[in-house]
């Protein structure tokens, strides 16, 4: 089995590496020559614990190679980004370009899979594109959609062990795609059609966004009511049928804060809760920034001096070094702009240095600060003793116990 992965990003590269490790001959294609060069040199250009070692192994054995152009293979996987154009309208032009690039290589019996998060109907559109260019391949190739569901930070485990949803344009295509994923997936491979599989991906992340929005809304209500939201949620969750997620300083990363817009763009009238959840989660970050600025102004009025403020955490979620689409980064930037006279110390214990933010050691910042703002519940922060002499804004639930 030879597979050609179109796109060596946060999902394409790990999947290519794991597929190669499980016996598939892989060529990974990327439009960025630096990515190709780095990958062939055994260097990971993305952040994922443990993945670089596996990359080096499969490069050394010759099971994976990166290239700027696709090669004739048995399976083609489209794993390119689907960004937005304009105001949150999904742009499938990269999926289309990657598809066009492999169309001339397709031959009877081949498998074509889209993994990129895509609007519903994209697989059918690409099917039409392929058969428009190569009508002689009708009913002779297999086409399917199979979304990934791995959690950044736990990709090596989840790529192999998660269940997956596989939707072919025909039952035969689904079966053929299942055969492919069986090389490296131990989880159950669930059969469906391509539209349902596309929708399933969008719904999974939207569901989590809506649930987090509920927790974030509760945190705003509790702040006004003078109730500890962490205690409240933990008590409510003792009910056998209640399972509330945790509030935070907003929703970040590249998936949960993005995918709901795909549904909202396509189904604007129906997607009421989904759109509102996006608003609530975005508002929560704004609210955290305002609350911090207000606390800084109050401190100045009461103490007749500027406070030292520790902004604790920049990552988009706890215990990772990934700062992409991070609400903590947004809040820190906003506070620096709005309260630029305060002495602000920025902390991210999982990152050594940053080209925009000057970082301070977390213990030093905590000791020096008058106001401590917890934005991310990193494990390191949980070990800091609670100090009553400091003003603590715990948006992340570091001290929730
Ligand atoms: N968050 C909260 N409260 C919570 C849980 C999370 O505020 O109770 C925040 C996090 O701090 C973070 C954001 O939500 O800012 C997203 O974090 P996450 O851990 O929920 O998810 P991601 O973005 O790292 O990965 C998600 C996963 N999707 C689901 O859990 C439904 C993952 O399985 C997907 O593969 C991934 O999106 C993706 O690529 O789509």
For residue 262, give the H/E element and its range.
helix 259-266
Task: Indicate whether residue 58 lines ligand 1 (CB < 6 A).
Answer: no
Q: Which residues of 286-296 are buried (b: 16+ CB within 10 A; e: fewer)?
A: ebbbebbbebb
- Number of domains the chain is built from: 2
Task: Give the number of other CB atoms < 10 A from CB of residue 227.
Answer: 13
Q: Cβ(130)–Cβ(143) under 8 Å?
A: yes
208 Cβ below 6 A of ligand 1: yes
Give the CATH number, domain containing residue 372.
3.40.50.720
- Cα separation of 58 and 70, whole Å? 19
Question: If pLDDT is split at 50, 70 and 90, which confidence band does 87 have?
Answer: confident
Residue 195 domain-assigned (yes or no): no
* Sequence-ordered list of residues with C-beta below 8 angstroms from that of 166, at least 6 positions apart, any chain: 144, 145, 146, 174, 177, 178, 181, 189, 190, 191, 192, 197
| Domain around 81 | 2-187
330 in the same domain as 251: yes
Give the mean model confidence (pLDDT) for residues 90-100.
97
* Residue (of 394, 369, 368, 364) closest to 382 by Cα position: 394
Instruction: Select which of 4, 255, 288, 329 is catalytic.
Output: 255
Shared domain check, 180 and 99 = yes
Residues 179 and 34 in one domain: yes
Please give the distance, rounded to the nearest whole angstrom, from the Cα atom of residue 283 to the centre of ligand 1.
18
Give dist(CA 91, CA 79) in Å, integer. 14
Same domain membership, residue 128 and residue 208: no
What ligand 1 atom has the least distance to the C-alpha of 201?
Answer: 40
Active site residue 255: yes
Handedness of CA 330, 273, 10, 81 (dihedral sign): negative
Q: How high is the pLDDT of residue 401?
A: 65
Per-residue tokens: 145:
């959609």
Note whether residue 268 is domain-resident. Answer: yes
140 and 7, same domain (yes or no): yes
Residue range 276-299: average pLDDT? 98
Give nearest CA residue, ligand 1 atom 4: 246
Domain boundary among 127, 152, 187: 187
- The share of the chain scoring above pLDDT 90, in percent, equals 95
Summarised one tens digit per residue, pLDDT across range 121-162 is: 999 999 999 999 999 999 999 999 999 999 988 999 999 999
Q: Looking at the domain assignment, is residue 401 inside a domain?
A: no
317 lines ligand 1 (CB under 6 A): yes
Residue 380 domain flag: yes
**In this structure, are 167 and 241 located in the same domain?**
no
The single residue of 21, 38, 176, 201 carrying the catalytic annotation is 201
Query: In this structure, is residue 193 part of a structural domain?
Result: no
Given 187, 220, 248, which residue is the final one in a domain?
Answer: 187
Ligand 1 centre distance from Cα of residue 371 (Å): 28
Domain contains 49: yes
CA dist 124 to 119, 120, 193, 242, Å?
11, 9, 10, 39
Q: What is the pLDDT of residue 146?
A: 98
Q: Please give the mean pLDDT across all residues of the chain.
A: 96
Rounded average pLDDT over 38-50: 94
Tell me what pLDDT residue 86 has. Answer: 85
Predicted structure pTM score: 0.95
Best residue for ligand 1 mutational test, from 15, 199, 208, 313 (most atoms within 8 Å of Cβ): 208
DSSP assignment of 62-76 equals: TSEEEESS----SEE
Q: Which of 139, 188, 203 is nearest to 168 (CA)?
A: 139
Band (16; pLDDT cuts 50, 70, 90): very high
DSSP string, 189-245: EEEEEHHHHHHHHHHHHHHHHHHHHHHHHHHHHHHHHT--HHHHHHHHTTSTT----
User: What pLDDT is recorded for position 221?
Assistant: 98
- Answer yes or no: do 135 and 247 share one domain: no
Q: Could you report the per-residue pLDDT of 212-240, keeping only the tens digit for each?
A: 999 999 999 999 999 999 999 999 999 99
Is the same domain home to 215 and 362?
A: yes
In a domain, 75, yes or no: yes
Strand partners, 394: 374
Catalytic: 201?
Answer: yes
Residues 257 and 171 in one domain: no
Q: What is the mean pLDDT of residues 344-350?
A: 97
To test ligand 1's pocket by mutation, which of 160, 209, 212 has the most ligand atoms within 8 angstroms of CB? 212
Whether the CB of 252 sits within 6 Å of ligand 1: yes
Per-residue CA distances from 82 to 33, 91, 196, 262, 336 (Å): 20, 6, 18, 10, 32
Q: What's the rounded Cα separation, in Å, for the pair 327 and 396?
A: 11
Provide mean pLDDT across the span 49-56. Answer: 96
Q: Is residue 351 domain-shared with residue 262, that is, in the same domain? A: yes
What whole-number distance in Å separates Cα of residue 330 and Cα of residue 20?
A: 38
* CB 22 within 8 Å of CB 58: no
In our burial notation (b when 16+ CB lie closer than 10 A, e otherwise), range 35-68 reads bbebbeeeebbbbbeebeebbeebbeeebbbbee
CA of 282 to the centre of ligand 1 (A): 15
- Pair 31, 132 in one domain: yes
Residue nearest to atom 40 of ligand 1 (CA): 255
How close is the Cα of 249 to the center of ligand 1, in Å?
13
Ligand 1 atom at minimum distance from 250 CA? 7
Q: How far is the CA of 256 from the centre of ligand 1 (A)?
A: 6
Query: Could you tell me how far CA 46 lies from the centroid of its own chain?
Result: 12
Same domain, 234 and 162: no
Position of tokens 């391949």? 137
Last residue of a domain, one of 136, 159, 187: 187
Domain-embedded: residue 218: yes
Looking at residue 153, its pLDDT comes to 86
């Amino acid at each position: 089995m030879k597979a050609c992965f179109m796109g060596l990003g946060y999902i394409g590269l790990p999947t290519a590496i794991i597929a190669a490790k499980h016996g598939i001959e892989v060529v990974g294609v990327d439009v960025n020559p630096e990515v190709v060069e780095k990958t062939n040199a055994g260097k990971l250009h993305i952040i994922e614990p443990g993945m670089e070692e596996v990359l080096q192994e499969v490069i050394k054995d010759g099971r994976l190679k990166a290239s700027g152009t696709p090669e004739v293979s048995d399976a083609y996987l489209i794993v390119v980004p689907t960004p937005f154009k304009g105001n949150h309208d999904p742009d499938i032009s990269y999926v289309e370009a990657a598809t066009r690039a492999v169309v001339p290589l397709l031959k009877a019996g081949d498998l074509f899979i889209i993994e990129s998060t895509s609007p519903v109907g994209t697989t059918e559109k690409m099917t039409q594109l392929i058969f428009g260019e190569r009508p002689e391949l009708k009913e002779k190739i297999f086409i399917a959609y199979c979304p990934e569901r791995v959690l950044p930070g736990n990709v090596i485990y989840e790529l192999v062990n998660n269940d997956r949803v596989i939707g072919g344009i025909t039952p035969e295509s689904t079966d053929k795609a299942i055969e492919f994923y069986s090389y490296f997936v131990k989880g159950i491979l669930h059969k469906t059609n391509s539209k349902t599989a596309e929708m399933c991906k969008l719904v999974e992340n939207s569901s989590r966004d809506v649930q987090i929005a509920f927790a974030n809304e509760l945190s705003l209500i509790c702040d006004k009511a003078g109730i500890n939201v962490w205690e409240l949620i933990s008590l409510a969750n003792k009910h056998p049928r209640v399972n509330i997620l945790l509030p935070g300083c907003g929703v970040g990363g590249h998936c949960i804060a993005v995918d709901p817009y795909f549904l909202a763009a396509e189904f604007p009238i129906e997607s009421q809760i989904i759109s509102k959840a996006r608003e609530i989660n975005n508002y929560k970050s704004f609210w955290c920034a305002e609350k911090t600025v207000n606390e800084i102004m109050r401190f100045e009025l009461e103490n007749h001096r500027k406070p030292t403020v520790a902004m604790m955490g920049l990552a988009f979620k706890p215990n990772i070094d990934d700062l992409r689409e991070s609400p903590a980064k947004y809040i820190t930037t906003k506070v620096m702009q709005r309260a630029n006279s305060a002495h602000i110390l920025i902390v991210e214990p999982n990152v050594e240095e940053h080209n925009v933010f000057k970082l301070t050691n977390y213990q030093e910042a905590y000791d020096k600060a008058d106001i401590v703002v917890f934005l991310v519940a990193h494990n390191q922060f949980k070990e800091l003793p609670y100090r009553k002499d400091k003003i603590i804004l715990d948006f992340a639930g570091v001290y929730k116990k």
